[in-house]
Amino acid sequence: MKQRDIDLEKLREQFRSFLRTKMYRNTQERFRVLERAAELDRHFTADELYVHMNTNGDKISRATVYSTLDLLTRCNILVKHRFQGDSATYELSARKPNHDHLICRDCGHVIEFQEGALLTLQDEIARRYGMRAVSHSLQIFASCMYGDDCRFRRQNEYSTTISQP
């Protein structure tokens, strides 16, 4: 598992501060969920993280994983997405800031991309209405032009691509 450019100690301190401010208990299990989530260099579901933790020797309840993911989302360490279906997926905010998603409706493949024109557009729209843009979230749902011959479906494994303008 990769931890590209992630300052885990900084994330721990951010979480510690959030827990203290909101008067939540500071438990080892919560910090273990943070550490294991930071190991995953992809989008993941709560159940995938739960299985990952328990197969790697962490004995933790599913309820603890779900509640901790909610706390990590509330303190902006994780971002929660609902691409399609009922399962939410998560990703570490610090790993790939300011990016958007193109999702294949047929096979579920997710392509992450960054487009400078979108940042310009968000700022322009916010100014038009007397506001200052802080962030945005864009999900484009599409169908692979190859239908049943979808190259992502054929790969039969999860992968993401980041495109830079």
1 in any annotated domain: no
Q: Distance between the two ends of the chain, CA-based, in angstroms?
A: 27
- Which of 66, 92, 118 terminates a domain? The answer is 92
* Overall average pLDDT of the 48-69 stretch: 95
- Cβ(30)–Cβ(68) below 8 Å: yes
Query: Which pLDDT score is estimated for 22?
Result: 96
Residue 2 predicted with pLDDT over 80: no
2 in any annotated domain: no
pLDDT in tens, 101-141: 787 877 777 787 888 898 899 999 999 999 999 877 777 88
Domain encompassing residue 115: 100-163
43 in any annotated domain: yes
pTM of the predicted structure, to 2 decimals: 0.68
Total structural domains within the chain = 2
- Which of 29, 59, 92 terminates a domain? The answer is 92
- Which of 55, 74, 92 terminates a domain? The answer is 92
